[in-house]
Amino acid sequence: MPKKVLLADDSQTFLNFYQKVFGALGVEVVQASTGPEAVALAWKERPDLIILDLEMPGMSGAECTRLLKQDPSCAPIPIILITQHISARDMEVMLRSGCEEVLAKPVSARQLQQVLNRHLK
């Protein structure tokens, strides 16, 4: 059964890149461009992995993570947060949200494949 990944980023450039990488790996992709849209899609689609940008319109990736991790049906889904600005404060906020991993932009195709290998065995 193919794996499904929810990608949420307000940058279409990054979404296109992630789509290309995951598509080449045979992974089904669902996309969102805002925090609220990402949460709604996570509840509807029940993906195997969620990758969220930290800074998105409507709700940050950390806020989305906290909300999804409080829902017993979504709590087991691994969530990866991605950001361009990793300060000590941002790291603390992201890790306290309940995410499994934090990556710094720009993320390479190899890093994305490694994320899949770690979280979608």
For residue 110, the model assigns a pLDDT of 94
Q: What is the pLDDT of residues 60-117, one digit of tens each?
A: 999 999 999 999 999 999 999 998 877 777 777 777 888 999 888 889 999 999 998 9
By CB atoms closer than 10 A (0-12, 13-18, 19+), residue 12 is exposed
> What is the reported pTM?
0.92
Q: What is the pLDDT of residues 1-18, one digit of tens each?
A: 569 999 999 999 999 999
Domains and CATH numbers, the chain: 4-86+101-107 (3.40.50.2300)
Q: What is the pLDDT of residues 63-73, one digit of tens each?
A: 999 999 999 99
Is residue 58 within 8 Å of 34, Cβ to Cβ? yes
Q: What is the pLDDT of residues 33-76, one digit of tens each?
A: 999 999 999 999 999 999 999 999 999 999 999 999 999 999 99
DSSP 8: E
Q: How many other CB atoms are there within 10 angstroms of residue 75's CB atom?
A: 11
For residue 2, the model assigns a pLDDT of 64
Edge-to-edge order in the sheet of strand 49-53: 28-32, 4-8, 49-53, 79-83, 101-104
Instruction: Report whether pLDDT(27) > 80.
Output: yes
Nearest CA to 119 among 44, 24, 37, 27?
27
Average confidence (pLDDT) over 16-29: 92
